[in-house]
């Protein structure tokens, strides 16, 4: 049939003291210094921390958060003074007893994020929108704090 010779070799075992940079980095980045404290923490402690993007525009402040799987009814936004607080919850999906997971990287639970804004905001004009799993919150500036254009006139300067 074939004249290919199959040669089976066993590789020598690596000594235990041999340093492997890739293994070291995997272990280092997987290290959680607070893992030992987890029994002391609340059982419903948050593991879901959404990423926010905060941007200042001439009209106000724009906050965007990736909240896939969070229902609008599970969101709570409040503006107290100059502090914006966004909190919510993403519930885990139902698990069956005979399910076998090979990777479990999605996080669930409740979260709260607070942002302190300058005092020149208009809380009555704040608005929020949820579209395609992205929450967008706009907090406008007060009219007095909006930038004003100063006209420049040519001619002789007036005395002050």
Q: Residue 141, exposed/middle/buried by CB under 10 A (0-12, 13-18, 19+)?
A: buried
pLDDT at 128: 95
**Cα(33)–Cα(86) distance, rounded to whole angstroms?**
27
Q: What is the pTM of this model?
A: 0.59
Position 135 scores a pLDDT of 95
pLDDT of residue 7: 56
Which pLDDT does position 62 carry in this prediction? Answer: 95
For the chain, domain boundaries: 46-93+102-145
pLDDT value, residue 9:
58
Q: Which fold has domain 46-93+102-145?
A: Immunoglobulin-like (2.60.40)
Q: Give the Cβ contact number of residue 122 at 10 Å.
A: 16
Per residue of the chain (160 residues), what is the pLDDT tens digit?
Answer: 445 555 555 556 555 567 777 777 766 666 666 655 554 444 444 477 888 999 999 889 999 999 988 889 999 999 988 899 999 998 877 777 777 777 766 778 888 999 998 878 888 999 999 999 999 999 998 877 667 788 888 876 666 6
Q: Are 111 and 135 in contact (CB under 8 A)?
A: no
Neighbour order of strands in the sheet with 109-116: 75-80, 83-90, 109-116
**Sign of the torsion angle spanned by Cα atoms 123, 127, 130, 136:** negative
Region of residue 69 (phi > 0: left; psi between -120 and 50: alpha; otherwise: beta): left
């Amino acid at each position: 049939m074939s004249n290919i010779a199959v040669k089976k070799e066993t590789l020598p075992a690596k000594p235990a003291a041999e340093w492997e940079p890739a293994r070291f980095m995997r272990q280092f980045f997987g290290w959680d210094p607070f893992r030992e404290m987890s029994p002391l923490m609340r059982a419903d402690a948050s593991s879901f921390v959404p990423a926010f993007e905060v941007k200042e525009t001439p009209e106000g402040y724009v906050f965007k958060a990736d909240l896939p799987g969070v229902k609008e009814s599970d969101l709570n936004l409040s503006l107290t003074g100059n502090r914006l607080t966004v909190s919510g919850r993403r519930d885990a999906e139902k698990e069956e007893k005979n399910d076998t997971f090979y990777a479990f990287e999605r996080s669930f639970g409740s979260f709260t994020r607070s942002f302190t804004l300058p005092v020149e905001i208009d809380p009555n004009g704040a608005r929020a929108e949820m579209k395609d799993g992205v929450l967008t919150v706009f907090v406008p500036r007060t009219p007095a704090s909006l930038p004003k254009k100063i006209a420049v006139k040519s001619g002789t300067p007036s005395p002050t």
